[in-house]
Copies of this chain bind each other. A is one copy, B any other.
Amino acid sequence: MRQILLYGLILGALLFLIQYAQYRLVFVQHAESAYTGVIAAICCAAGIWAGVVLTRRYQRKSNARLLAAIHNHPPVQAESSLTPRELEVLQLIAQGLSNQEIAGHLFLSLNTVKTHVSNVFAKLDVQRRTQAIQKAKQLGLLA
């Protein structure tokens, strides 16, 4: 529902831009190539954005399968109550990454990473990431 509104606004803005550009062109003849360039730039940007978003969503699930394959575990572990995403974050914590770096690796915002980290800590009953590493290794959640 929110997205529809968003896309509507984007669409409207684009249409407005095009209208404006063509309005200006009525009075500025022979600037057709410049106008085409603007359109091309806008569409390129929109296309790249769409492509990136598309691929990220697709890759997200692939990564889950990849990590699962590495550890010979199904994506969802019954013995630990950690979700797949939380396990991913936990593994990156054990690699020594900061929350910001984890966000970069996983294409998440810093806030989202913090949320996952907090949930991991709560489920492992620890207060610090160093404790989480310790406990996770004891529980066999990490290699």
Knowing A70-B67, A70-B143, say if A94 contacts B134 (CB, 8 Å).
yes
Residue from the set A8, A95, A130 with the largest chain B CB neighbour count within 10 Å: A130
From A48-56, A75-83, A108-116, the one touching the partner chain is: A48-56
11-69 of chain A: CB within 8 A of chain B: 11-12, 14-15, 18, 22, 26-27, 30, 32-33, 35-36, 39-59, 62-63, 66-67, 69
Task: Give every chain B residue within 8 A of A95 (Cβ-Cβ).
Answer: 66, 69-70, 130, 134
**Can you name 18 extra interface pairs (CB under 8 A) apart from A30-B32, A47-B51?**
A8-B50, A11-B11, A15-B39, A22-B22, A22-B26, A26-B26, A39-B40, A40-B42, A40-B43, A47-B49, A48-B54, A51-B51, A51-B55, A63-B63, A66-B95, A70-B70, A96-B128, A98-B128
